[in-house]
Amino acid sequence: MNLIVTTIHKPTPAAEEYARALASRLGAPLVARERRSLAALRAAYGADTVLVAAKDGPVVHTPDGAYFFHLSMAELRINNLKDGKPDHMIAAMGLAPGMSVLDCTLGLATDAIVASFAAGEEGRVVGLESSPLIAAVTGYGLAAFASGRPDVDAALRRVAVVNADYNGHLATLPAASFDIVFFDPMFRTPVMASSSLQPLRQLADPRPVGPAAIAAARLVARRRVVMKEARGSGEFARLGFATIVGGKYSSVHYGVMETGC
């Protein structure tokens, strides 16, 4: 990926400073916009990806479209929880207020936000994201996005972002330091064609979860290791998940592994 960082047209001093901070954090060139289009910038600098420090946060322009922080399905799922409707992920986790969750594949943080809402003010949710670019976009959104709903915004603010690869990070954590360890790896075959998720697939880590990561997660999780995968995926059997949770007609299921800690 060839990345450059720039600003919107006519940036404020604060926007320029934010762009400089992003470029420094990501180790990418900072390019003056100078009224040029994104296509012109790509051509001039041989870049396939452009990060724009926009007024409402960073926007990543990839060959597959723009990637920016948004709530996706998190708000609808929170509404359903408030209405007493079940959420298959929360059920698979056995998540209750006050519990802690380590999300090893944070991405857009949709699942982490729902988990944070369910865990409540006394709970704890930490998200690991191996991509510095995704971590920057998601971290900004969790810290600054305003939905207009205090309960949703509070759930966002409680999610801590760590830019780290779970394959190495899990080994650094104390035993039984989280109630639940959660994986949502990039599906081998997408369950649906989603224009909003295509840019994320371009940026995210495509590697499948390995047995060593599951073994490390079992040591970290006091209660359960949970993995999200496409319905009927062979990944559940490959990694030793014997219990599968999910709706009868859902395209997504959850493998559950009790740790017994």
**Residues 234/68, Cβ–Cβ less than 8 Å:** no
- Same-domain status, 126 and 187: yes
Q: What is residue 112's predicted lDDT score, i.e. its pLDDT?
A: 98
Q: Does residue 221 sit in helix, strand or coil?
A: strand
Domain identity same for 104 and 46: no
Question: What is the pLDDT, as a whole number, of residue 202?
Answer: 63
Question: What pLDDT, on the 0 to 100 scale, is given for residue 56?
Answer: 85
CA distance linking residue 255 with residue 261, whole number of Å: 18
Same domain, 227 and 114: yes
Tell me what the mean pLDDT of segment 103-121 comes to: 96
Q: Residues 171, 121: one domain?
A: yes
30 lies in the same domain as 101: no
Cβ atoms 54, 69 nearer than 8 A: no
Q: Judging by DSSP bridges, how do beta strands 159-162 and 57-62 pair with one another?
A: unpaired
- Enter the DSSP assignment of 30: B
Q: What is the pLDDT of residues 68-86, one digit of tens each?
A: 999 989 999 999 999 999 9
pLDDT band for position 191 (50/70/90)? very low
The average pLDDT across 83-104 equals 97
- Specify whether 91 is located in the same domain as 191: yes
* Domain carrying residue 111: 74-258
107 and 218 share one domain: yes
| Domain shared by 79 and 167, yes or no | yes
**Residue 209 confidence (pLDDT) above 50:** yes
Q: Please state, rounded to an integer, the average pLDDT across all residues of the chain.
A: 91
Torsion, Cα 141 144 146 152, to 10 degrees, reads 70
Is residue 61 in a domain? no
pTM, to two decimals: 0.92
Q: Within a 10 A sphere around the Cβ of 76, how many other Cβ atoms?
A: 11
Q: Are residues 128 and 207 in the same domain?
A: yes
Within this chain, do residues 117 and 194 fall inside the same structural domain, yes or no? Answer: yes
Look at residue 137 and tell me whether its pLDDT is greater than 50.
yes
In a domain, 13, yes or no: yes
DSSP 150-178: HHHHHHHHTEEEE---HHHHGGGSPTT-E
Q: What is the pLDDT of residues 138-189, one digit of tens each?
A: 999 999 999 999 999 999 999 999 999 999 999 999 999 999 999 999 754 4
66: in domain = no
CATH number at residue 244: 3.40.50.150
Q: Structure tokens of 233?
A: 């995926």
In a domain, 106, yes or no: yes
Q: Strand 49-54's sheet: what is its strand order? A: 3-7, 49-54, 57-62, 65-67
- Same-domain check for residues 141 and 22: no
- Whether 88 has a pLDDT exceeding 60, the answer reads yes
34 and 81, same domain (yes or no): no
**The total number of structural domains that make up the chain:** 2
